[in-house]
Structure 1
Amino acid sequence: MRKLALVLFAFIAISVSAVAQNNQPAKKEPVTIYNPKANAKADIDAAVAKAKKAGKHVFIQVGGNWCSWCILFHKMVDATPELKDYLNNNYETVLVNYSQDNKNTETMARLGYPGRFGFPVFVILDGNGKVIHIQNSAYLEEGKGHSVKKVMEFLKGWTADAIKPENNK
Protein backbone atom coordinates (compact mmCIF):
# COMPACT_ATOMS: atom_id res chain seq x y z
CA MET A 1 0.00 0.00 0.00
CA ARG A 2 2.86 2.37 0.82
CA LYS A 3 4.52 1.69 -2.52
CA LEU A 4 1.28 2.40 -4.35
CA ALA A 5 0.83 5.69 -2.46
CA LEU A 6 4.44 6.67 -3.16
CA VAL A 7 4.12 5.86 -6.88
CA LEU A 8 0.81 7.75 -7.04
CA PHE A 9 2.36 10.76 -5.27
CA ALA A 10 5.36 10.75 -7.66
CA PHE A 11 3.02 10.55 -10.66
CA ILE A 12 0.93 13.48 -9.42
CA ALA A 13 4.02 15.58 -8.66
CA ILE A 14 5.47 14.97 -12.14
CA SER A 15 2.12 15.75 -13.79
CA VAL A 16 1.67 18.98 -11.88
CA SER A 17 5.23 20.03 -12.69
CA ALA A 18 4.72 19.36 -16.41
CA VAL A 19 1.45 21.29 -16.50
CA ALA A 20 3.01 24.20 -14.62
CA GLN A 21 5.90 24.38 -17.07
CA ASN A 22 3.55 24.38 -20.05
CA ASN A 23 1.45 27.18 -18.54
CA GLN A 24 4.32 29.59 -17.97
CA PRO A 25 3.64 32.93 -19.64
CA ALA A 26 5.87 33.75 -22.57
CA LYS A 27 8.75 35.97 -21.56
CA LYS A 28 8.18 39.54 -22.64
CA GLU A 29 10.80 41.26 -24.71
CA PRO A 30 12.39 44.09 -22.73
CA VAL A 31 11.24 47.57 -23.68
CA THR A 32 13.98 49.56 -25.40
CA ILE A 33 12.46 52.99 -26.02
CA TYR A 34 15.12 54.74 -23.93
CA ASN A 35 18.80 54.03 -24.39
CA PRO A 36 20.65 54.13 -21.06
CA LYS A 37 23.97 54.23 -22.94
CA ALA A 38 23.04 57.22 -25.10
CA ASN A 39 25.01 60.41 -24.67
CA ALA A 40 22.13 62.68 -23.63
CA LYS A 41 24.25 65.84 -23.77
CA ALA A 42 25.38 65.11 -27.33
CA ASP A 43 21.84 64.15 -28.41
CA ILE A 44 20.42 67.39 -26.98
CA ASP A 45 23.19 69.51 -28.48
CA ALA A 46 22.57 67.98 -31.92
CA ALA A 47 18.81 68.54 -31.60
CA VAL A 48 19.34 72.17 -30.53
CA ALA A 49 21.58 72.81 -33.55
CA LYS A 50 18.97 71.29 -35.89
CA ALA A 51 16.14 73.18 -34.17
CA LYS A 52 17.95 76.50 -34.47
CA LYS A 53 18.59 75.96 -38.16
CA ALA A 54 14.96 74.91 -38.79
CA GLY A 55 13.33 77.56 -36.58
CA LYS A 56 11.94 74.93 -34.20
CA HIS A 57 12.10 74.10 -30.53
CA VAL A 58 13.36 70.89 -28.91
CA PHE A 59 10.94 68.52 -27.20
CA ILE A 60 12.66 66.32 -24.63
CA GLN A 61 10.89 63.34 -23.12
CA VAL A 62 12.64 62.24 -19.94
CA GLY A 63 11.84 58.77 -18.64
CA GLY A 64 12.99 55.20 -18.68
CA ASN A 65 12.19 51.72 -19.90
CA TRP A 66 11.13 50.90 -16.33
CA CYS A 67 8.34 53.54 -16.46
CA SER A 68 4.98 52.23 -17.69
CA TRP A 69 3.61 55.78 -18.16
CA CYS A 70 6.65 56.69 -20.28
CA ILE A 71 6.10 53.68 -22.50
CA LEU A 72 2.37 54.34 -22.79
CA PHE A 73 2.98 57.97 -23.76
CA HIS A 74 5.51 56.97 -26.40
CA LYS A 75 3.15 54.34 -27.83
CA MET A 76 0.25 56.83 -27.86
CA VAL A 77 2.29 59.31 -29.90
CA ASP A 78 3.41 56.58 -32.30
CA ALA A 79 -0.18 55.38 -32.73
CA THR A 80 -1.60 58.90 -33.27
CA PRO A 81 -0.49 60.27 -36.64
CA GLU A 82 -1.77 63.77 -35.78
CA LEU A 83 0.51 63.95 -32.71
CA LYS A 84 3.46 62.26 -34.36
CA ASP A 85 3.32 64.55 -37.40
CA TYR A 86 2.88 67.66 -35.25
CA LEU A 87 5.91 66.75 -33.13
CA ASN A 88 8.03 65.99 -36.19
CA ASN A 89 6.99 69.19 -37.99
CA ASN A 90 7.42 71.56 -35.05
CA TYR A 91 10.08 70.07 -32.78
CA GLU A 92 13.33 68.23 -32.74
CA THR A 93 12.71 65.34 -30.34
CA VAL A 94 15.09 63.75 -27.85
CA LEU A 95 14.48 60.88 -25.45
CA VAL A 96 16.57 61.22 -22.30
CA ASN A 97 17.00 58.14 -20.16
CA TYR A 98 16.65 58.28 -16.40
CA SER A 99 17.22 54.91 -14.73
CA GLN A 100 19.37 53.06 -12.23
CA ASP A 101 21.77 52.33 -15.11
CA ASN A 102 22.14 55.99 -16.03
CA LYS A 103 20.57 58.88 -14.15
CA ASN A 104 22.08 61.40 -16.58
CA THR A 105 22.94 63.57 -13.58
CA GLU A 106 24.63 66.39 -15.51
CA THR A 107 21.88 66.53 -18.12
CA MET A 108 19.16 66.54 -15.47
CA ALA A 109 20.89 69.49 -13.78
CA ARG A 110 21.22 71.29 -17.13
CA LEU A 111 17.47 70.81 -17.71
CA GLY A 112 16.49 72.18 -14.28
CA TYR A 113 15.92 68.84 -12.55
CA PRO A 114 12.69 67.97 -14.37
CA GLY A 115 12.41 64.60 -12.61
CA ARG A 116 10.99 66.43 -9.61
CA PHE A 117 7.65 66.25 -11.43
CA GLY A 118 7.78 62.49 -11.95
CA PHE A 119 8.09 60.58 -15.20
CA PRO A 120 7.62 61.01 -18.03
CA VAL A 121 8.39 64.68 -17.88
CA PHE A 122 8.70 66.95 -20.88
CA VAL A 123 11.18 69.77 -21.36
CA ILE A 124 10.99 72.38 -24.11
CA LEU A 125 14.20 74.08 -25.20
CA ASP A 126 14.45 76.99 -27.59
CA GLY A 127 16.84 77.02 -30.55
CA ASN A 128 19.64 78.23 -28.27
CA GLY A 129 19.25 75.33 -25.84
CA LYS A 130 17.59 77.40 -23.13
CA VAL A 131 14.92 75.63 -21.05
CA ILE A 132 11.69 77.52 -21.67
CA HIS A 133 9.24 75.07 -20.12
CA ILE A 134 9.09 71.93 -18.01
CA GLN A 135 5.79 70.03 -18.21
CA ASN A 136 4.50 67.68 -15.54
CA SER A 137 2.88 64.99 -17.68
CA ALA A 138 0.21 64.32 -15.04
CA TYR A 139 -1.54 67.49 -16.23
CA LEU A 140 -1.87 65.93 -19.67
CA GLU A 141 -3.74 62.89 -18.40
CA GLU A 142 -7.42 62.16 -18.63
CA GLY A 143 -9.02 59.02 -17.31
CA LYS A 144 -6.47 56.22 -17.37
CA GLY A 145 -3.92 57.72 -19.69
CA HIS A 146 -2.63 60.76 -21.51
CA SER A 147 -5.18 62.77 -23.46
CA VAL A 148 -4.40 63.29 -27.14
CA LYS A 149 -6.28 66.60 -26.96
CA LYS A 150 -4.35 67.86 -23.91
CA VAL A 151 -1.00 66.77 -25.34
CA MET A 152 -1.78 68.52 -28.62
CA GLU A 153 -2.77 71.73 -26.81
CA PHE A 154 0.47 71.58 -24.84
CA LEU A 155 2.56 71.06 -27.97
CA LYS A 156 0.80 73.89 -29.83
CA GLY A 157 1.44 76.26 -26.93
CA TRP A 158 5.22 75.82 -26.98
CA THR A 159 6.22 75.88 -30.64
CA ALA A 160 8.69 78.50 -31.82
CA ASP A 161 5.87 80.36 -33.60
CA ALA A 162 3.53 80.21 -30.61
CA ILE A 163 5.82 82.23 -28.37
CA LYS A 164 6.85 84.88 -30.89
CA PRO A 165 5.72 88.29 -29.63
CA GLU A 166 4.27 89.25 -33.01
CA ASN A 167 1.95 86.24 -32.87
CA ASN A 168 0.60 87.22 -29.46
CA LYS A 169 -0.68 90.76 -29.99
Structure 2
Amino acid sequence: MHFFHKFHRDMLRLFLLVAIAGCQSQTKQAVYTVGSYNPEAEPTVDLAATVKQAQADHKRIILQVGGEWCQFCHRLDAFIRETPSVAAGLHDGFLVMKVSFTQGENENEEFLGQYPDVAGYPHWYVLESDGTLLHSQDTSKIQKGNNYSEDKLLAFIDKWKP
Protein backbone atom coordinates (compact mmCIF):
# COMPACT_ATOMS: atom_id res chain seq x y z
CA MET A 1 0.00 0.00 0.00
CA HIS A 2 2.87 2.34 0.82
CA PHE A 3 4.23 1.98 -2.73
CA PHE A 4 0.94 3.12 -4.31
CA HIS A 5 0.62 6.10 -1.95
CA LYS A 6 4.18 7.22 -2.73
CA PHE A 7 3.62 6.63 -6.46
CA HIS A 8 0.43 8.73 -6.49
CA ARG A 9 2.11 11.50 -4.48
CA ASP A 10 5.09 11.55 -6.85
CA MET A 11 2.83 11.57 -9.91
CA LEU A 12 0.84 14.48 -8.46
CA ARG A 13 4.06 16.44 -7.89
CA LEU A 14 5.19 15.74 -11.45
CA PHE A 15 1.82 16.81 -12.84
CA LEU A 16 1.91 20.08 -10.86
CA LEU A 17 5.46 20.87 -12.02
CA VAL A 18 4.51 20.27 -15.65
CA ALA A 19 1.34 22.36 -15.26
CA ILE A 20 3.25 25.27 -13.69
CA ALA A 21 5.93 25.16 -16.40
CA GLY A 22 3.24 25.08 -19.08
CA CYS A 23 1.49 28.12 -17.61
CA GLN A 24 4.74 30.07 -17.48
CA SER A 25 5.59 29.38 -21.12
CA GLN A 26 2.01 30.14 -22.22
CA THR A 27 2.17 33.51 -20.43
CA LYS A 28 5.38 34.43 -22.27
CA GLN A 29 3.96 33.33 -25.61
CA ALA A 30 0.66 35.12 -25.10
CA VAL A 31 2.22 38.49 -24.14
CA TYR A 32 4.33 38.96 -27.28
CA THR A 33 2.95 39.09 -30.80
CA VAL A 34 6.51 39.70 -32.03
CA GLY A 35 8.97 38.33 -29.50
CA SER A 36 12.33 39.21 -31.06
CA TYR A 37 14.13 42.27 -32.38
CA ASN A 38 14.40 41.09 -35.97
CA PRO A 39 15.99 43.82 -38.13
CA GLU A 40 14.48 42.15 -41.22
CA ALA A 41 10.91 42.23 -39.87
CA GLU A 42 8.26 44.48 -41.38
CA PRO A 43 6.80 46.36 -38.39
CA THR A 44 3.93 47.80 -40.47
CA VAL A 45 2.79 44.28 -41.34
CA ASP A 46 3.39 43.07 -37.77
CA LEU A 47 1.39 45.99 -36.35
CA ALA A 48 -1.56 45.30 -38.67
CA ALA A 49 -1.70 41.71 -37.37
CA THR A 50 -1.25 42.87 -33.77
CA VAL A 51 -4.06 45.44 -34.12
CA LYS A 52 -6.38 42.76 -35.46
CA GLN A 53 -5.55 40.49 -32.53
CA ALA A 54 -5.78 43.33 -29.97
CA GLN A 55 -9.23 44.28 -31.19
CA ALA A 56 -10.42 40.67 -31.02
CA ASP A 57 -8.91 40.23 -27.53
CA HIS A 58 -9.95 43.72 -26.25
CA LYS A 59 -6.36 44.58 -25.33
CA ARG A 60 -4.05 47.52 -25.84
CA ILE A 61 -0.70 47.29 -27.61
CA ILE A 62 2.79 48.07 -26.36
CA LEU A 63 5.43 48.62 -29.02
CA GLN A 64 8.74 47.74 -27.38
CA VAL A 65 11.52 49.39 -29.38
CA GLY A 66 15.05 48.09 -28.90
CA GLY A 67 17.52 45.58 -30.21
CA GLU A 68 19.52 42.48 -29.47
CA TRP A 69 22.45 44.80 -28.70
CA CYS A 70 20.48 46.48 -25.87
CA GLN A 71 21.42 45.29 -22.37
CA PHE A 72 18.38 46.89 -20.73
CA CYS A 73 16.09 45.31 -23.36
CA HIS A 74 17.28 41.89 -22.19
CA ARG A 75 16.91 42.94 -18.54
CA LEU A 76 13.33 44.03 -19.18
CA ASP A 77 12.49 40.75 -20.92
CA ALA A 78 14.01 38.77 -18.03
CA PHE A 79 12.22 40.90 -15.45
CA ILE A 80 8.86 40.33 -17.13
CA ARG A 81 9.55 36.61 -17.47
CA GLU A 82 10.69 36.26 -13.83
CA THR A 83 8.03 38.48 -12.21
CA PRO A 84 4.67 36.69 -12.37
CA SER A 85 2.61 39.73 -11.33
CA VAL A 86 4.07 41.84 -14.16
CA ALA A 87 3.75 39.03 -16.72
CA ALA A 88 0.13 38.46 -15.69
CA GLY A 89 -0.69 42.19 -15.81
CA LEU A 90 0.75 42.53 -19.28
CA HIS A 91 -0.95 39.33 -20.45
CA ASP A 92 -4.34 40.48 -19.16
CA GLY A 93 -4.33 43.91 -20.78
CA PHE A 94 -1.76 44.13 -23.54
CA LEU A 95 -0.11 42.59 -26.55
CA VAL A 96 3.59 43.46 -26.74
CA MET A 97 5.22 43.80 -30.14
CA LYS A 98 8.98 44.21 -30.38
CA VAL A 99 10.29 46.61 -33.00
CA SER A 100 13.96 46.49 -33.96
CA PHE A 101 16.12 49.58 -33.88
CA THR A 102 19.57 48.54 -35.04
CA GLN A 103 21.78 51.53 -35.71
CA GLY A 104 23.45 51.36 -39.10
CA GLU A 105 21.54 48.22 -40.09
CA ASN A 106 17.81 48.89 -39.80
CA GLU A 107 16.52 51.80 -37.79
CA ASN A 108 12.93 51.39 -39.05
CA GLU A 109 12.88 55.15 -39.67
CA GLU A 110 9.68 55.17 -41.71
CA PHE A 111 7.73 53.16 -39.13
CA LEU A 112 9.18 54.81 -36.01
CA GLY A 113 9.01 58.28 -37.59
CA GLN A 114 5.27 58.39 -36.92
CA TYR A 115 5.88 58.26 -33.15
CA PRO A 116 7.55 60.68 -30.70
CA ASP A 117 11.35 60.57 -30.44
CA VAL A 118 12.96 57.90 -28.30
CA ALA A 119 15.18 59.00 -25.40
CA GLY A 120 16.71 55.56 -24.76
CA TYR A 121 16.16 51.85 -25.17
CA PRO A 122 14.04 49.94 -24.64
CA HIS A 123 11.23 52.38 -25.29
CA TRP A 124 7.51 51.70 -25.01
CA TYR A 125 4.69 53.18 -27.03
CA VAL A 126 1.23 52.38 -25.71
CA LEU A 127 -1.38 52.11 -28.45
CA GLU A 128 -5.12 51.70 -28.33
CA SER A 129 -6.36 48.44 -29.85
CA ASP A 130 -6.93 50.28 -33.14
CA GLY A 131 -3.28 51.40 -33.28
CA THR A 132 -3.82 54.99 -32.07
CA LEU A 133 -0.92 56.29 -29.96
CA LEU A 134 -1.89 56.88 -26.32
CA HIS A 135 1.46 57.31 -24.58
CA SER A 136 5.23 57.33 -25.12
CA GLN A 137 7.14 55.82 -22.17
CA ASP A 138 10.82 56.21 -21.37
CA THR A 139 11.43 52.87 -19.62
CA SER A 140 14.14 54.37 -17.41
CA LYS A 141 11.18 55.81 -15.45
CA ILE A 142 10.10 52.27 -14.50
CA GLN A 143 13.57 51.21 -13.38
CA LYS A 144 14.97 50.84 -9.91
CA GLY A 145 18.75 50.94 -9.89
CA ASN A 146 20.12 48.69 -12.61
CA ASN A 147 16.91 46.73 -13.04
CA TYR A 148 13.17 47.30 -13.22
CA SER A 149 10.72 48.01 -10.42
CA GLU A 150 7.78 45.68 -9.90
CA ASP A 151 5.79 48.47 -8.20
CA LYS A 152 6.48 50.96 -11.00
CA LEU A 153 5.66 48.45 -13.73
CA LEU A 154 2.42 47.42 -12.01
CA ALA A 155 1.44 51.10 -11.62
CA PHE A 156 2.17 51.64 -15.33
CA ILE A 157 0.11 48.57 -16.27
CA ASP A 158 -2.76 49.68 -14.04
CA LYS A 159 -2.74 53.19 -15.51
CA TRP A 160 -2.71 52.09 -19.17
CA LYS A 161 -4.70 48.85 -19.17
CA PRO A 162 -7.99 48.95 -21.09
The two structures share one fold, judged by TM-score above 0.5: yes
For 1:152 and 1:37, how far apart are their aligned partners in 2? 32
Structure 2: gaps (5+ residues): 1-34
2:65 is equivalent to residue 62 of structure 1: yes
Higher relative contact order (CA 8 A, sep 6+): 2
Report the counterpart of residue 157 of structure 2 in structure 1. 155
Indicate yes or no: 2:136 matched with 1:128.
no
Q: How many Å apart are 1:123 and its aligned residue? A: 0.5
What's 2:52 paired with? 49
Which one has a bigger Cα radius of gyration?
A: 1
Q: Match for 1:85: what amino acid?
A: A
Match of 2:115 in 1: 111
Query: Helix, strand or coil: the match of 2:135?
Result: strand
Matched to 1:40, the amino acid is P
Q: Is the Cα contact below 8 Å between 1:59 and 1:93 reproduced in 2?
A: yes
Matched pairs, number: 127
Cα deviation for residue 110 of structure 1 reads 2.2
In structure 2, the residue matched to 1:37 is 40
Gaps of 5+ in 1: 1-31, 161-169
Instruction: Tell me the equivalent position of 2:90.
Output: 87
Structure 1: 4+ residue segments shifted above 6 A: none
TM-score, normalised by the number of residues in structure 2: 0.73
RMSD: 1.5
The amino acid that maps onto 1:110 is Q
Amino acid at match of 1:77: I
Cα distance in 2 between the residues matched to 1:63 and 1:42:
18
